[in-house]
Amino acid sequence: MSVSVACKGLAKTYPGGVEAVAPIDLTFQAGKTTALVGPSGCGKSTVLRMIAGLEAPSRGSATIDDAPPAETLRRAGLSIAFQDPSLLPWRSVQQNIELALDLARRPKVASEIDQLIQLVGLGGFADTRPAALSGGMRQRAAIARALSTQPELLLLDEPFGAVDELTRAQLAHDLPGIWEARDTTTLLVTHSVTEAVTLSDRIIVFSARPARVVADIEVDLPRPRPSQIARAPEFTEIADNVFEALSRGVGQTLPNAAQ
Ligand code: ADP
Ligand code: MG
């Protein structure tokens, strides 16, 4: 089962007056992967937190299948992996995943947990505690944990920031297959245009703060997408459109645009 997400006039001004998100209207189709890109500090995480029900909107609403996020949370249908992975330090990688499954009241199937740990390239580190892992490895553990409960809605907030290039390419290759097989609705915040084009069906480009939608770009590339696809003209064309929208969103023109 997968879910759709709707943002209607969704806006956030933090106490103290920081306007993080201008009213935005967006719907995310069930089973699709959408990348959210925009300059640092523009309000991307705030949007994601409001969709997750972790932050109250100042105006408007974010709903999951027309219901408040709390309902999806209640049935453990929602997983989040943040840039700063919140793993429990006294639990190993495997135990962190097991806890997520316990909290979500999902069965702990050893072979499935093992498969996920392998998938994110942490084979051999199942019994290791977070303190003994690198930043990138902790992020990968958090991704495995987010996937373990087989969420209907997966929210990823710059989850690959500290992950090395090679592992990142491997994840970019493997993850969409999992999302598709499970029909997961995925929202991915990233500042990498290449990652956005490689992973998503659609890219939303936000302006500088407060976040407004500058562009809504369809990524009509066949799947699976091998890393070489980044050199294809169709890929480059989409990436150029994203860059152009990003520049427009911060009120600049590209140094060598329109050639
Ligand atoms: P992004 O994820 O795009 O980098 P954020 O959504 O984290 O941006 O932040 C958007 C703006 O809101 C920033 O100016 C940030 O400083 C501010 N902000 C974020 N969280 C809070 C908070 N809890 N209280 C006050 N201001 C915040
Ligand atoms: Mg952020």
For residue range 226-241, what is the model confidence (pLDDT) as tens digits? 888 999 999 999 999 9
- Report how far ligand 2's centroid is from the alpha carbon of 83 (Å): 8
pLDDT of residue 254: 65
- Report how far ligand 1's centroid is from the alpha carbon of 254 (Å): 26
**Is the confidence at residue 257, as pLDDT, over 60?**
no
CA distance 167 to 178: 16
Burial class (CB in 10 A: 0-12, 13-18, 19+), 81: buried
| Local confidence band at 259 (pLDDT 50, 70, 90 cut-offs) | very low
Q: Which residues pair with 13 in a beta bridge?
A: 19
Q: Does the Cβ of 9 fall within 6 Å of ligand 1?
A: no
**Is the confidence at residue 38, as pLDDT, over 80?**
yes
Residue nearest to atom 23 of ligand 1 (CA): 14
Measuring CA to CA, which residue among 123, 127, 160, 164 is closest to residue 142? 160
| Local confidence band at 256 (pLDDT 50, 70, 90 cut-offs) | low
**Is the confidence at residue 157, as pLDDT, over 60?**
yes
Mean pLDDT within 196-211: 96
**Which atom of ligand 1 lies at the shortest distance from residue 44's CA?**
3
Counting ligands in written order, the one closest to the CA of 38 is 1
- Report how far ligand 1's centroid is from the alpha carbon of 23 (Å): 15
Q: Does the Cβ of 208 fall within 6 Å of ligand 1?
A: no
Spell out where the chain has E strands: 5-13, 19-28, 33-37, 59-64, 78-81, 153-157, 185-189, 202-206, 213-218
For the segment 212-223, what is each residue's pLDDT rounded down to a tens digit? 999 999 999 998
For the segment 57-106, what is each residue's pLDDT rounded down to a tens digit? 999 999 999 999 999 988 889 999 988 778 999 999 999 999 999 999 99
- Given a contact cutoff of 8 angstroms between Cβ atoms, the answer to whether 73 and 50 are in contact is no
Q: Does the Cβ of 84 fall within 6 Å of ligand 1?
A: no
Tell me the domain boundaries of the chain.
5-77+153-258, 87-150
| Local confidence band at 258 (pLDDT 50, 70, 90 cut-offs) | very low
Q: Does the Cβ of 44 fall within 6 Å of ligand 1?
A: yes
With the CA atoms of 136, 137, 140 and 142 taken in that order, what torsion angle do they form, in degrees rounded to the nearest 10? -100
Mean pLDDT within 117-138: 94
- Report how far ligand 2's centroid is from the alpha carbon of 6 (Å): 20
Mean pLDDT within 205-211: 96
Tokens (6 digits) for 74: 């209640």
- Report how far ligand 2's centroid is from the alpha carbon of 22 (Å): 16
- Report how far ligand 2's centroid is from the alpha carbon of 144 (Å): 20
Torsional class of 225: left (φ above 0), alpha (ψ -120 to 50), beta (otherwise): beta
CA distance 171 to 151: 18
Mean pLDDT across the chain: 93
CA dist 51 → 1, 122, 165, 189 (Å): 18, 30, 29, 13
Q: Does the Cβ of 228 fall within 6 Å of ligand 1?
A: no
pLDDT of residue 177: 87
CA distance 39 to 251: 11
Q: Which residue type is seen at 233?
A: P
Q: Does the Cβ of 49 fall within 6 Å of ligand 1?
A: no
Q: In the CATH hierarchy, which fold is given to the domain comprising 5-77+153-258?
A: Rossmann fold (3.40.50)
| Local confidence band at 1 (pLDDT 50, 70, 90 cut-offs) | confident
Counting ligands in written order, the one closest to the CA of 210 is 1
3-class SS at 51? helix
